[in-house]
A and B are shown apart, each in its own frame.
Chain A
Amino acid sequence: MDILLHVARTGGSVALNVAPILAVLLFFQLVVLRRRLANPRRILTGFAYVLVGLTLFLVGLEKALFPIGRLMAAQLTGADVVGMAADAASVPWWAFGWVYAFGAAVGFAAAVAEPTLIAVSLKAEEVSGGAIRARSLRMMAAAGVGAGVAFGTLRIVTGLPLGYVLPILCVVVAFQALTAPRLMVALAFDTGAVGTSTVTIPVVAALGLGLAAAVPGRDPVVDGFGLIAFAVLFTIMAMLAYAWGAAHLAYRRKPPVTGTGR
């Protein structure tokens, strides 16, 4: 009975949240563009699918994805995995090796199969005239997501303040944006944003919050978030670094292929 009530309540909030996008599209289509809907029945059916699908997804997210992230954080910081008592006054950062390994594995595995990333890599190979290889770029981006989550968990364990670390990463990313081949910059920043997908985000978010709660001396309010940001920034950095390297190699071989975008 409980779960039915929960599903009904989630369904109600989903309907409220999806209504605006439908309203926006219908308003601009009918009032501003003054065009008729090509296939109103199909759109309504699609809308019903979205409502039901989103409701089930959100219920499942609360029942499975968040708990998986929390559980992994709790278990991987447990006394027998870390190798010392969890309430010891200070646990050295290297004792949490399995946490970083898990972060890297989850980030890499989820990104490498991401359809958007595959499409973007192929496009990049095409526009770079072959200087950039689609497969290598995809591997670099996925490695970026993995490295991002791993370094993000390392940051939570060590407690380096986000207020110092994130500005440094921002400067690096900005510097790369100015020095990497022009045509790759927008591509890399777009990919960074989509590298963490719908299924990965809840698990990674819960992992960060769980870790901040489990590691002695960390406060979930201050340290729990930031993992996804690390994944985004590291993906951008990895892609731009690869593009920079590929452009320089290609330049050595035959000068005019890459370089400026326009």
Chain B
Amino acid sequence: MGRQVQFLSRLALGAARDLGPLLIVVTLFQLVVLREPVPDLVGTLIGVALVMLGLILFVRGLDMGLFPLGESMAHAFARKGSLKALLLFAFALGFAASVAEPTLLAVAREAAHTAAMGGVIADTERARIAYALALRLTVAVAVGVALIFGVFRILKAWRTHYVLAAGYVGVIPLVAVAPADVVGIAFDCGGVTTSTITVPLVAALGVGLATAIRGRNPVLDGFGLIGFACLSPIVFVLLFGIILHGV
């Protein structure tokens, strides 16, 4: 019983550390700069409490089930020696983790809302849901492809910094031809999808692989996968925009 309480209070502390800095900054600005009454303060506080409770349960659940399973599997696939199975697993892991990512879900919904308001898509519930889903699936495919590519890179020992530099220069022509309203969301998606669920699973895959292959340094070769997972959605969402609206 005592251990349970201690454990829960540690989780609550973790959630408070996530939310704390944000709340402190917002409160300071409200008190010092704005000095205006906050509309619907009670509703906001209830929402903050829900966010905190949700984070506690959600992180606890990931630590109990998905993360240990994902990590042990990443190590197992890295040792198994079947390239086909490894690449398939990498793609499926990246794709499914992005689909589950809560921040991507929320931001895609907001993007659909903005597109509907601005007349880019029809302003119906259905068009919005379809747009948000298409955007998320595009990002999910992008992360899956990034992981396939990243696994290849670790196996072939390509230099990470050349690949990343080439990637960031390579998106520039796409920016030039893509419609203006998709550029911002494309660059945002990379940062949005590399979040709570994707990062630990992807990092486990990278470190597992780099540990299992002889001659690879887990510290040097294990990193970089998340960087690819952040870059690749830019390319795919820009292409998505180009295909959707035409050039």
Contact = CB atoms under 8 A, between A and B. Distances in A.
Given A24-B92, A123-B219, A189 B230 contact: yes
A219 B22 CA distance: 27
Q: Is the interface of A mostly helix, strand, loop or mixed?
A: helix
A39 to B, nearest CB: 9
B173 to A, nearest CB: 9
B220 A127 contact: yes
A53 B65 CA distance: 14
Interface in B32-78: 33-34, 36, 38-40, 43-66, 69-70, 72-73, 76-77
A187 B206 CA distance: 12
A18 B98 CA distance: 10
Q: Is the interface of B mostly helix, strand, loop or mixed?
A: helix
Contacts of B14: 115
Interface in B77-124: 77, 80, 85, 88-89, 92-93, 95-97, 99-100, 102-103, 105-107, 110-111, 114-115, 117-118, 120
A139 interface: no
Contacts of A151: none
B197 A21 contact: yes
A49 interface: yes
B105 A17 contact: yes
A174 B164 contact: yes
B168 A170 contact: yes
B57 A65 contact: no
A225 B184 contact: yes
Given A194-B226, A198-B55, A25 B95 contact: no
B175 A60 contact: no
B25 interface: yes
Interface string A220-255: 111111111101100000000000000000000000
Contact of A35 (B62, B76, B92, B196): B76
A205 B22 contact: no
A20 B136 CA distance: 13
A199 interface: yes
A256 interface: no
B28 to A, nearest CB: 8
B190 A112 contact: no
Contacts of A62: 47, 106
A228 B191 contact: yes
A196 interface: yes
B64 A46 contact: yes
Contacts of A229: 184, 187-188, 190-191
A53 B229 contact: no
B183 A226 contact: yes
Contacts of B66: 21-22, 25, 43, 46-47, 50
Interface in B1-42: 14, 17-22, 24-26, 28-29, 33-34, 36, 38-40
Interface string A19-44: 01111110111001101011000111
Contacts of A173: 165, 168
Given A47-B66, A50-B66, A203 B22 contact: yes
B194 interface: yes
Contact of A68 (B44, B176, B230): B44
10 contacts: A24-B96, A49-B64, A58-B54, A76-B34, A161-B180, A163-B180, A189-B231, A194-B195, A197-B196, A223-B184
- The 8 A-B residue pairs whose C-beta atoms are closest, nearest first, are A46-B65, A64-B47, A49-B61, A53-B58, A57-B54, A189-B227, A53-B57, A46-B64
Interface of A: 13, 17-18, 20-25, 27-29, 32-33, 35, 37-38, 42-68, 71-72, 75-76, 81, 98, 102, 105-106, 109-110, 112-113, 115-116, 123, 126-127, 161-163, 166-167, 170-171, 173-175, 177-178, 180, 182-183, 185-187, 189-190, 192-194, 196-203, 205-206, 209, 219-229, 231-232, 261-262
